[in-house]
Structure 1
Amino acid sequence: MKKNMKNQLNEAMISSIRSHISEGDVLVNVLMDILCIGKEAAYRRIRGDVLFTFDEVAKISHELGISLDTIVDTNNKSKSFLFNLNLYPTTEYILDVYCKMMNDHLKVFYKMKKDSDSLAKISFNTLPYYFYNSFQNISKFRLFRWMYQTMGINAPNNLSSFSLTSEILDLQKKYVIESSLVTESHIILDKNSFLSLIKDINYFYKLNLISDSDLKKLKEELFELLAGWELMAMTGKTESGKNILIYISNVNFESCYSYYKSKSLEISHIRVYSINGLSSTNPYVCKIHNEWIESLKRYSTLITQSGEIQRIEFFRKQRGFINKLL
């Protein structure tokens, strides 16, 4: 019985791997690359002659984004699911952890771009790095705000004294490029998405943590950001020519929800603790997550190539908030 159970788990692992790699990838080559083993050793694991060790399962799960609970509980009887929560160990490594988080996000986009029909569904109640990574001053402010909140006296004294490392700038540039290659994106914006960031900047300015010159730069970038998103709403295309649908929600929602799907990957993500997040590749969790984002559309107005009055009014209000508060 125990042997049969082990064989079932091994077969479930192989099945999961097959479902998480692209059509052009060869299973034996994937195992060789991830586990650093020879071709014959990889074939033994595929045939079930040699069972995967726990360390090997962990490596494969991390590399391909496979949810272990789907393998252990194939019948989904327990209704309990594993989530990945990235938290920094100490404040000393806060920027290193940010780089790790960015790399984890990039791995998702690298996998998705192998497929020609990748999909992203995202609902925002405040602007995430999806919006502002191409804007150096805004992205610097959001990181500074996070550090100021979590590091206390160890945080930079003010925004001017804080600078982004070349590694962070490079990762953010890659993020902008890779995220724009998703075939189709559905974006739902809370009406206060921009306002929350504007209020944060205003608050830190009043604390004398943002200089007049930095405030001017932030303001200019906010206007540029709005112009770019208004153009996408009008054309229905990203800068890379991919399809995008933008909605304005008529109700408030609690957090930022993301759902990504391609032939080789399906993952859900909920933002927590400012820039951290809970993610899961469990099919049932992804299904519920997708349905939740879809339900928000019923309370939203599509402003992409339609809803012209609502689109004009929304972006006019955001510019008014910037002028009034900054």
Structure 2
Amino acid sequence: MKKTLNEIVVNHIRKNIPREKNIVPFLMELLDLAKESTYRRVRNEIPFTFEEISKIALHLNISLDEIIGQSSGKRVFFNLHELNQSIPILQIKDVITEAIEILSKVHRATNSKVILAGNHFPTLFLVSFPNISKFRYYKWIHQTEDVPLNFYYSDFSIPQEILNLQKKLKYNFQRVNKLEIIIDKNTISSTMLDVSYFYNRNLISESELRIIQAELYECIDLLEEMTQKGVNQIGSEVQIYLSSLNIESNSSYFEYDGQTYTQLWSYFSDPISISNSQASFVQKRWLDSLKKYSTLITQSSEIQRAKFLNLQRELISNMDKDIIL
């Protein structure tokens, strides 16, 4: 039977490290992985990324041709999770686990920074709001899965396994030492338009709409509090920028003790992840360029901040009346 890529990688590692050395601690140190994530790769439960294979090949002086049959020319490898769960919502389990691991590294680092940019609230920010998060999942399932035309919001529930992971994600996200968020004027309206669509189709009830509406108010209240204080709920530094330009897609940038990691959100369920430092630098340069067309509304620019926040609350208050699609 043909060997999988993981088996080929593991066999090459075993051949090239001292016999007395354990492969798991070796990979944990080299790839900066948690023990469970390492075991899952060794057991062939999740694939090594091409970036990880490249690090292994360089460290052990193994030709990439021997492992993946490709030339060892200069490339940047991207990581995209294989989504093959029988239960669609469980497809994002590995995505959340990856985010937890990255944020844990950021939190432990001496020098670190996270930058989030998007035309709707970043997924990491929304873990504090369970009903908005549930709607985002619901919309994704509605769009991508073969569900009935009248698949109601009330018929959808998030598995406890995912809810438990979201709690860990929230814990690690709140403990980021320095966070920058770049948003545009569509941050709230994009979510409201989506909710309105399903409400107008009678797939979301009046009471469910009010619950989501209440959380959107809470979301704006939290945003206002952070812009006033410059910190989040547990005291970590937060800077929020309001872009004058529309931000076309969401992205995340992580920096910790000289290491970088970037996520490009092509769609809701799974980001394209990059750990190559040069590629991450290009993305950070674009994020920094957004600031040239943005206003820092954290502890400054009170007039623009007030106009923005007041407009968001006005839109939320009229979300069942004025947003008709």
Give the aligned residue type for 1:216: R
1:154 CA displacement: 5.6
1:226 CA displacement: 0.8
Partner of 1:89 in structure 2?
A: 84
Classify the secondary structure of the residue corresponding to 1:287.
Answer: helix
Give the aligned residue type for 2:216: L
Classify the secondary structure of the residue corresponding to 1:188.
Answer: strand
Mapping 1:1-326, distance limit 5 Å: 32-33=24-25, 62=48, 66=52, 68=54, 71=58, 78=73, 80-89=75-84, 92-153=86-147, 157-263=151-257, 265-326=259-320
Give the aligned residue type for 2:318: K
Classify the secondary structure of the residue corresponding to 2:203.
Answer: coil
Equivalent pairs, count: 281
Cα deviations by residue, 1:209-249 (Å, 9 ceiling, x for unpaired): 10111011001111011101110011110112111110000
Classify the secondary structure of the residue corresponding to 1:208.
Answer: coil
Which structure 2 segments of 5+ residues have no match? 1-11, 30-40, 65-71, 321-325
1:162 CA displacement: 1.2
Give the aligned residue type for 2:287: I
Contact 1:251–1:299 under 8 Å retained in 2: yes
* Partner Cα separation in structure 2 for residue 171 and residue 165 of structure 1: 10
Classify the secondary structure of the residue corresponding to 1:152.
Answer: coil
Which structure 1 segments of 5+ residues have no match? 1-8, 15-27, 37-41, 43-54
Cα deviations by residue, 1:61-85 (Å, 9 ceiling, x for unpaired): 959x747279479xxx955311111
* Partner Cα separation in structure 1 for residue 149 and residue 106 of structure 2: 36
- After superposition, the Cα gap between the structure-2 partners of 1:29 and 1:163, relative to the gap in structure 1 and judged at 3 Å, is farther
1:86 CA displacement: 2.3
1:29 CA displacement: 9.5
* Partner Cα separation in structure 1 for residue 74 and residue 308 of structure 2: 41
Root-mean-square deviation over aligned CA pairs:
3.2
1:294 CA displacement: 0.4
Classify the secondary structure of the residue corresponding to 2:75.
Answer: coil
Classify the secondary structure of the residue corresponding to 2:204.
Answer: coil
* Partner Cα separation in structure 2 for residue 107 and residue 155 of structure 1: 37
Cα deviations by residue, 1:137-191 (Å, 9 ceiling, x for unpaired): 1111110100011113268821111122221111111111101111101110021
Name the % identity: 31
Contact 2:183–2:247 under 8 Å retained in 1: no
- After superposition, the Cα gap between the structure-2 partners of 1:202 and 1:284, relative to the gap in structure 1 and judged at 3 Å, is same
* Partner Cα separation in structure 1 for residue 213 and residue 197 of structure 2: 14
Give the aligned residue type for 1:86: H
Q: Deviating runs (4+, > 6 A) in structure 1?
A: none
Classify the secondary structure of the residue corresponding to 1:138.
Answer: helix
Contact 1:148–1:156 under 8 Å retained in 2: no
- After superposition, the Cα gap between the structure-2 partners of 1:30 and 1:62, relative to the gap in structure 1 and judged at 3 Å, is farther
TM-score (norm 2): 0.77
1:283 CA displacement: 1.0
Give the aligned residue type for 1:312: A
* Partner Cα separation in structure 2 for residue 93 and residue 156 of structure 1: 19
- After superposition, the Cα gap between the structure-2 partners of 1:206 and 1:155, relative to the gap in structure 1 and judged at 3 Å, is closer
Contact 1:188–1:246 under 8 Å retained in 2: yes
Cα deviations by residue, 1:285-325 (Å, 9 ceiling, x for unpaired): 01111111001000100000101111111111111111122
Contact 1:245–1:302 under 8 Å retained in 2: yes
Classify the secondary structure of the residue corresponding to 1:157.
Answer: coil
* Partner Cα separation in structure 1 for residue 316 and residue 101 of structure 2: 35
1:273 CA displacement: 2.0
* Partner Cα separation in structure 2 for residue 216 and residue 170 of structure 1: 25
